[in-house]
Structure 1
Amino acid sequence: MSVRIIVDSSADMETEYAAEHDITIIPMTISFGEEEFAEGVDLSRTEFFERLVESDELPRTSQIPPMVFQDLFAEAVEAGDTVVCITLSSRLSGTYQSACIAAAPFKESVFVVDSLNATVGERILVERAWALRDEGLEAADIAYCLDQEKQDIRLVASLDTLEYLRKGGRISGAAAMVGGLLSIKPVVTVEDGEVVVAGKARGSKQAKNMVFQKIDEAGGIDFTRPIWVAYSGLSDKAARKYIEDTLAQAAAAEEAERDDAAVPGDLPLTLVGAVIGTHVGPGGVAFAFFARE
C-alpha cells in the first residue's frame, strides 16, 4: 500500500517535477471566449500569458467537478492505496468542496487538505507532503501535519499593475486609472485563504522594499523548508533581481546574527499559471515560504 498525493494545477507545479516525485496533477479549465483549455495540458503557462495580454476580456477559470476527483480516489482505493489531496484555497475556489464531496465515501482512505493558499503557496505545502511521505508517514498523519504546517506559510507578491484587478472587479476603474498615472504597484498577501492588498507602493523600488518588509514581519524565511519564487508574464528578469537581493539580505542577516541556518546559493523560480495569472496580470513577483517565527 502506498500514499498517493493529488493536487490541482493551481499549485503551479511542472508536470516533469510532479512525475519525478510521484504526484498527480488535476488540470483546471481555462476559457477564452468559447475556447476551453485544460491548464498545463492544452495550454502552457507561456501560451496563457501570450493570450492574456492580447485579450480585451479576462478568461474564465472553472473549478474541478467532484466526478474527476471521485474517479481518481476510487482507482487508488481499489488498488489498495491511500490518498492525500491538496487543493487551492476554499476561499478562492469551489475545488476544495468538490474534493470533499468526492472523498466522502472513502473516509478511511482519502484525506483532503485545504491549502488556504494559491500558486506557489499551495505548491510548497505539496512539497512538504511528499517529504513527509518519504519519511514514512501514513496518509492520515501527513494530512494532520499539513493542516498544522500550513499556518506557517506566507505568500507575498508585488504586482505591476492594477488593471487586471479592475477587470476582475476587485477595484474600481477610477482607482486603476489613478494607480496607473501614479505608477502604483500593489503588494498583496494571502491571509486566511484570501488575497489581501497589503499596501500600494509608488514605483517598483518601493514595492520591492514593501515585499521585503512583509517577509521581515513574518520573522524571515525558514530555509530548511520549501521556498519558491514565481513570476507572471513573459519575462523573469524582475523576479531574478528579487532573488538576488533577497539572498544578499538573508546572508547579511545570517552573518550579523551568526545564525546556523545556511542561506542557499539560489532560489527556485517558476511561472505563475492561469488561475492566479488571470487576476494579477503580467509583471508580478511572488514569494512563498515558511516563516521562521
Structure 2
Amino acid sequence: MKKIAIMTDSNSGITQEKGKELGVCVLPMPFFINEKLYFEDITLTQEEFYKYLEEDADISTSQPSPGDVMERWDQLLEEYDEVVHIPMSSGLSGSCETAMTLAQDYDGKVQVVNNQRISVTQEQSVYDAILLRDAGKDAAQIKEILEAEKFESTIYITVDTLKYLKKGGRITPAAAALGTVLNLKPVLQIQGEKLDAFAKVRGWKAAKRTMLKAIETDLKERFKGKEDQLTLGVVCTCGKEDAAEWKEEIHTMFPQFEIMEAPLSLSVACHIGPGAMAVTCTKKVKI
C-alpha cells in the first residue's frame, strides 16, 4: 500500500502543533502587515493579528509562494509516495489554482483537492482524507471523493462591525454608515465557492436566531437523511466568554450533534473583523 502524506494550509484552523499530532503538514498562510511579511502561527499569533486589526494596520492577505509549496511537497515525497494537498476554497483565494498548476509537474504524485472549504469545514476534509488514506485509498481516489463532497458543507457568519466589510469594498461607505446607525447585522454565508450575503437583521439576538434557523433549514432540506454523518462547528473572532455562550446556544438547539470548535481563519477574519460569530455544518465522509 502506498504511503500517502496529507497536507493543508492554516486556513483550516489546524495549528502547527495540532498538525504534528495528526501527522499532517500545515502550510502557514502569509500576510503583509504594514508592508512586513508574516506567517500565520509561525511569526503571527491570533492575538497579534487582532491587535494589528484594532490599530488599523495596513493588512493584506497573500498566498503561499510557489517555491514554498513545492519545497514542502518535495520534502514530503522524500518519505511518502504521494501527497494529498487540501488548500482553502478556490473561490476565496488563488492559492488552490496555483497549487493545481504546480502539481502538473509531479506526474500524479501530488493531488490538489479543490473541495471549496475553509475553517472547520476544511479541517473536516483533512480528517476525511486521513480516514480514506487509512482505509487504503490512494491520493487520486481521495481527491475524487473529497471533490465529490465539496458542496456538503455550509457556514453562516455575522459580524460585530461593518467597518471591515466597508474597508474590503464588500459594502459601500453609505451602507456601512446607515447599518451602524440602525444596528444592522449582516448574516453572510459560505456554501462552496465564495462569501455571499444571506440576510440583514437588527441586533445580535436576531443575527444568532437567523443563523440557527438557517442551519435548521439546511438540516431539514440540504442534509436530510444524512444526520448520522453531520458535524456542527462554532467559529469565532470574539472573546472566549462570548464564544462559549454561542457554542452553548448551538448545543442547546442541536444537542444530537458533535460540535467542532476553532478560531476563524485569519484570511476571512481580516475581511470581517473581531467580534464575529459563525456556525457551520459539514457532512463527514463515510467509508
- 5 Å matches for 1:46-195? 46-55=47-56, 57-195=57-195
Post-superposition shift, 1:190?
Answer: 0.9
Matched-pair contact (CA < 8 Å) for 1:111–1:143: yes
- Give the counterpart of 1:230 among 225, 232, 235: 235
Measured after TM superposition, the shift of residue 152 of structure 1 is 0.7
SS at structure 1 position matched to 2:281: strand
The Cα RMSD (Å) is: 2.0
Distance 1:62 1:14 in 2: 18
The answer to whether the 8 A contact 1:155-1:189 is kept is yes
Are positions 1:247 and 2:251 aligned together? yes
Structure 2 SS opposite 1:248: helix
Letter paired with 2:266: A
Identity %: 28
Q: Distance in 1 between matches of 2:60 and 2:264?
A: 16
Report what 1:22 is aligned to.
23
How high is the TM-score relative to the length of structure 1?
0.88
| Range with greater deviation from structure 2 (176-185 or 76-85) | 76-85
Shift of 1:79: 3.4
- Matching residue of 1:12: 13
Is the 1:58–1:168 Cα contact (8 Å) retained in structure 2? no
1:180-239 Cα shifts (integer Å, max 9, x gaps) = 111111111113311001011100110011101210221267464444311114x03232
Structure 1, 87-96 or 64-73: larger mean CA deviation: 64-73
Q: Of residues 280, 284, 289 in structure 1, which corresponds to 2:276?
A: 284
Q: Shift in Å at residue 271 of structure 1? A: 1.6
> May I ask how many residue pairs the two structures share in their alignment?
278
Shift in CA distance, 223/20, structure 1 to aligned 2, threshold 3 Å: farther
8 Å contact from structure 1 (residues 58, 278) kept in 2: no
Partner of 1:275: 267
The one-letter code matched in structure 1 to 2:155 is: L
Moved more, 132-141 or 43-52: 132-141
**1:226 & 1:273 partners in 2: Cα distance?**
19
Asked whether the 8 Å contact 1:157–1:287 carries over to 2, the reply is yes
Residue 158 of structure 2 contacts residue 278 of structure 2 at CA under 8 Å; is this kept in 1? yes
Q: Is the 8 A contact 1:158 1:286 kept in 2?
A: yes
> How far apart, in 2, do the equivalents of 1:3 and 1:226 lie?
25
Residue 160 of structure 1 aligns to which amino acid in structure 2? D
When residues 202 and 83 of structure 1 are mapped into structure 2, their CA distance, relative to the original with a 3 A threshold, is same
Question: Residue 11 of structure 1 contacts residue 119 of structure 1 at CA under 8 Å; is this kept in 2?
Answer: yes
Are 1:73 and 1:103, in contact at CA under 8 Å, matched by a contact in 2? no
How far is the alpha carbon of 1:80 from its aligned partner?
A: 4.3
Of stretches 203-212 and 59-68 in structure 1, the one that deviates more from structure 2 is 59-68
Stretch moving more, 216-225 or 157-166: 216-225
Q: Once the 2 structures are TM-superposed, how far is the Cα of residue 58 of structure 1 from its aligned partner?
A: 4.4
8 Å Cα contact 1:158/1:185 also seen in 2: yes
- Partner secondary structure for residue 149 of structure 2: helix
1:31 aligns with 32
CA apart distance, 1:134: 2.7
**Contact (CA 8 Å) 1:159, 1:187: kept in 2 or not?**
yes
- The answer on whether the counterparts of 2:69 and 2:99 sit within 8 Å (CA) in structure 1 is yes
The match for 1:216 is 216
Whole-Å separation in 2 of the counterparts to 1:114 and 1:273: 18
CA distance in 2 between partners of 1:42 and 1:288 (Å): 28
TM-score (norm: length of structure 2) = 0.90
Amino acid paired to 1:20: E
Q: In the TM superposition, what is the alpha-carbon distance from 1:121 to its structure 2 partner?
A: 2.5
> Which one-letter code corresponds to 1:268 in the other structure?
M
- CA distance in 2 between partners of 1:133 and 1:139 (Å): 8
